[in-house]
């Protein structure tokens, strides 16, 4: 039997990957790609909109994503599903979360410097730059 060493994991420097067989490993954080079957739990301290790639839409085709605000405040914007419709927005104060539906394009903007946690399957994650606003 292989055992994982018992030690603290710095969640701001690493991610946790949770595999279907119950294996949990501390590993490098990845915004895209990663193990096809591993859920990633990643925690980030962010200071500016650039830290949360506010100029990009993101989409996870393999699973829903839990976006959790641990401290600070963040707005999660959802790209319209129908052409011509307005973006939807959910404001997350500290201690709240939103579940982003599988395949739904979304982006973040900060209300204040924040600590955020993301939980999802990263496999197949796509980023798409938002058009410049005029």
Q: Which range among 3-12, 17-26, 106-115, 123-132 shows the weakest confidence by mean pLDDT?
A: 3-12
How far is it, in rounded angstroms, from Cα 26 to Cα 83?
A: 41
Which residues does 89 contact at the CB level (< 8 Å), separation at least 6?
Answer: 75, 76, 77, 78
pLDDT score recorded for residue 134: 43
How far is it, in rounded angstroms, from Cα 115 to Cα 43?
A: 7
pLDDT score recorded for residue 72: 98
pLDDT score recorded for residue 133: 62
Q: Which residues pair with 88 in a beta bridge?
A: 78
- Cβ atoms of 107 and 130 within 8 Å: the answer is yes
CATH numbers and ranges of domains, the chain: 15-129 (2.60.120.10)
Statement: residue 32 has pLDDT above 70: no
Residue 1: pLDDT band (50, 70, 90) is very low
pLDDT tens-digit readout, 101-132: 999 999 999 999 999 999 999 888 999 999 87
Provide, rounded to the nearest whole percent, the portion of the chain with pLDDT above 70. Answer: 91
- pLDDT (average), residues 79-100: 95
């Amino acid at each position: 039997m292989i055992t994982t060493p018992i030690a603290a994991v710095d969640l701001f420097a690493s991610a946790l990957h949770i595999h279907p067989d119950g294996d949990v490993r501390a590993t490098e954080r990845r915004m895209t790609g990663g193990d096809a079957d591993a859920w990633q739990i990643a925690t980030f301290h962010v200071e500016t909109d650039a830290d949360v790639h506010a100029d990009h839409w993101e989409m996870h085709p393999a699973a829903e994503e839990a976006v959790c605000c641990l401290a600070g405040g963040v707005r999660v914007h959802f790209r319209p599903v129908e052409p011509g419709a307005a973006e939807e927005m959910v404001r997350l104060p500290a201690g709240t979360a939103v579940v982003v539906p599988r395949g739904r394009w979304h982006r973040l903007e900060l209300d204040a410097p924040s600590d955020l946690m993301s939980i999802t399957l990263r496999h197949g994650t796509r980023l798409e730059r938002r058009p410049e606003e005029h």
